[in-house]
Structure 1
Amino acid sequence: MSADLSSVIAATTRWLVRSYPTAGGVLSASLAEAQARQAVTVAAWLRYPTPLDAALVAVAGPGGALRLDRITGAAAPEPAGPGEPDSSGSHDGPDGASAGLPWIPVPREPGETGSAWRTWVDEVLASWAACLLTSPDLVEEAVAGALRSEHARGLAVDFRRLAAPDGLDRQAAPLLRHPDLMAPVAGLHRDGLLACLGSHRGPQAGAAAAD
């Protein structure tokens, strides 16, 4: 794995497993994290296929988790103008206070002292990973494209838990694998993932699909 992508992959994986946790024990948590990490890694290698792409992300920053947190209810909705619905669909009251229910932040993990890691979350990668975790028809093509990136060169990479999950994998990640629950995140950048996969097919594959 490119060192320039390691922080982005780790933070985005962490966001996914914290936002859609498993109800099982340590084994379930490990299996769910493995699936999320493989999905994020495939997404990262597709979106940033060269070391130069990865280096640019490290310099510019991936954007952070704020919009994702708002979508999942872990951050306050985006402020709206007086009388206008905010991002949660509620309206401001006469005194400007929100008339809707208060948002509930995600509790911190034991020993967690800050949230700086959230600045390394990549919204696009989280969305693409959500698509891969919930759309089995996209996984084979996505993995093939990722393995053609420069990051995979010389590595023996196994994405089995993403591409061919067994019963234990599915039991460990019921939320991460649930299409309806993941739809708000997956829908953010699904079109971009489909466009990326289309570019990997090439003109001949596109012409064959059109026929």
Structure 2
Amino acid sequence: MLADLSPLIAATSQWLTCAYPSGGGALASALCEVQARQAVTVAAWLRYPTPVDAALVGMAGPGGSARLDWIAGADDATDHDTDAHAWRTWVDEVVASWAACLLSDPELAGRAVAAVAEGSHGAATPVTFRRLVAPDENDRRAAALLRHPDLLAPVTALHQDQLMNLLQPAQPV
């Protein structure tokens, strides 16, 4: 049983960087990829907080990128090379939507990273997500499309309410 989210994280990160690519050279592409991977990692850890959750999504599969491709305008009906795009079956729509939310809202990203730090994923090894929560000018320039709230809006709108409910502060009783 697969209790590791790495295929889901890799595929969803790749989808984000293909849909919202960096406009620069190799360094900008790498910085964009790191930011996407950090956002997707945090989103995946929030979505699948336990090893059992990760194992279940590994068995059932995350659903693929079909709806995301359609929303982002990346669906190409003329492309029938399924082997070249087999990674798309590992894309998780909810995780992509949540990652887009985190990339477009620094405050929300900070709350999400704090929530992950309290969970089982963050407990084993403290991980910093600096490029997600405190991007410098080079990071912002490299991921201008990936962090643009208006461009991400169709993807963030898919599952933003679920993420907001998950991250809202506990209400006093």
Is TM (by shorter chain) over 0.5?
yes
**How much has 1:207 moved relative to structure 2?**
3.0
| Rg comparison, structure with higher value | 1
Query: In the aligned structure 2, how far is the partner of 1:129 from the partner of 1:156?
Result: 20
Greater Cα shift, 60-69 or 130-139:
130-139
Map of 1:207 onto structure 2: 172
Aligned to 2:108: 138
The residue type equivalent to 1:6 in the other structure is S
Shift of 1:113: 5.3
Q: 2:130 aligns with which of 142, 149, 160?
A: 160
1:149 matches 2:143? no
Partner of 1:57: 57
Instruction: Write the deviation string for residues 175-205 of structure 1: whole angstroms up to 9, x where unpaired.
Output: 011000000001100001011112xx33xxx
Match of 1:128 among 92, 98, 101: 98
The alpha-carbon deviation at position 154 of structure 1 amounts to 2.4
Match of 1:194 among 151, 164, 167: 164
Matched AA of 1:207: P
Instruction: Output the CA distance in 1 between the equivalents of 2:64 and 2:54.
Output: 16
Contact 1:64 1:119 in 2 (8 A): yes
> Number of residue pairs matched?
171
Distance 1:61 1:113 in 2: 17
Q: Which residue of 1 aligns with 2:71?
A: 71
1:150 positional shift: 1.1
| In 2, Cα distance between equivalents of 1:66 and 1:55 | 23
Gaps of 5+ in 1: 77-102
**2:64–2:89 contact (8 Å) kept in structure 1:** yes
Scaled by the length of structure 1, the TM-score of the pair is 0.76
Question: Unmatched 5+ residue regions in structure 2?
Answer: none
1:139 and 1:73 map into 2 onto residues whose CA distance is: 26
- Contact conserved, 1:74 with 1:104, CA < 8 A, in 2? no
Contact persistence 2:3–2:58 (CA under 8 A)? no
Which runs of structure 1 show a deviation greater than 2 angstroms over 4 or more consecutive aligned residues? none
Partner residue of 1:183 out of 140, 150, 153: 153
Report the more deviating stretch, 138-147 or 2-11: 2-11
**For the Cα contact (< 8 Å) 1:73–1:104, is it kept in 2?**
no
Q: Which structure shows the bigger proportion of residues in helix conformation?
A: 2
1:29·1:172 contact (CA, 8 Å) conserved in 2? Answer: yes
* Cα contact 1:39–1:162 (8 A) shared by 2: yes
1:72 Cα deviation from its structure 2 partner: 1.1
Give the equivalent residue in structure 2 for 1:35.
35
Q: What residue is the counterpart of 1:100 in the other structure? A: none
Q: 1:151, CA displacement in angstroms?
A: 1.5
Q: In the alignment, residue 113 of structure 2 is paired with which amino acid?
A: V
C-alpha contact 2:62 2:90 (8 A) present in aligned 1: yes
TM-score by length of structure 2 reads 0.92
The one-letter code sitting in structure 2 at the alignment partner of 1:186 is T
Identity of counterpart residues, as a percentage? 58
